[in-house]
């Protein structure tokens, strides 16, 4: 995806190999971005790296942004990586929806939960949470709650909104990823 190419380039400059994945329903891909479907997509990517490319699982870092945090957290419960980076994670999808639509019974209306906070407590790998202090999409309080649940290193970028460049490929984000790299 072109929007994440600068991030991939900076991570490559740091000596990391990168696989970018657009899930079904994103990046022009067909399909519905359901919780089950996204889990299948990320498992296929994991299988490709481990079985086809022969990347040792203990050399993998998982990086998720926003909804992607739910996807990589679920993967980490089944296939633990060397480290987990969650950028702007929410506690669960309904909690985000309730912030935007407080007058609707969001939990009853959603078919997918994407329970990041609930799942991340089962992940036993070094974890970092990076968030913008002025995120208008995922409340910073939710990202902080995920960091606490994960016993994660917290990197908060004051004044940054959800899609600000500093959160897409800024130095604090790159350093948070590099800090997770197995030595």
**Going from the N-terminus, what domains does the chain have, and what CATH number goes with each?**
2-180 (3.40.50.1820)
The yes-or-no verdict on residue 183 having pLDDT over 80 is: no
What is the pTM for the complete model shown? 0.95
Of the CA atoms within 13 Å of residue 96, those in its CB half-sphere come to 23
Side-chain half-sphere CA neighbours of 22 within 13 A: 12
Give the tens place of pLDDT for each residue, 143-169: 999 999 999 999 999 999 999 999 999
Average pLDDT, the chain: 94
Within the chain, what is the greatest distance between any pair of CA atoms? Answer: 50
pLDDT of 132: 98
């Amino acid at each position: 995806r072109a929007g994440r190419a600068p991030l991939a380039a900076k991570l490559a400059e740091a000596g990391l190999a990168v696989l970018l994945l657009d899930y079904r329903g994103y990046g022009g891909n067909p399909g519905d971005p359901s919780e089950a479907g996204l889990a299948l997509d990320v498992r296929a990517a994991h299988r490709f790296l481990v079985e086809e490319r022969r990347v040792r699982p203990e050399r993998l870092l998982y990086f998720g942004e926003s909804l992607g945090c739910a996807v990589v957290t679920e993967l980490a419960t089944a296939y633990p990586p060397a480290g987990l980076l969650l950028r702007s994670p929410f506690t669960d999808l309904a909690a985000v929806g309730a912030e935007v639509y407080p007058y609707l019974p969001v939990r009853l209306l959603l078919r997918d939960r994407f329970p990041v906070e609930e799942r991340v407590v089962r992940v036993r790998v070094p974890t970092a949470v990076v968030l913008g202090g002025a995120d208008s999409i995922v409340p910073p309080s939710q990202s902080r709650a995920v960091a606490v649940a994960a016993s994660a290193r917290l990197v908060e970028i004051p004044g940054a909104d959800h899609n600000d460049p500093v959160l897409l490929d800024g130095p604090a984000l790159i350093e948070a990823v590099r800090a997770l790299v197995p030595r």
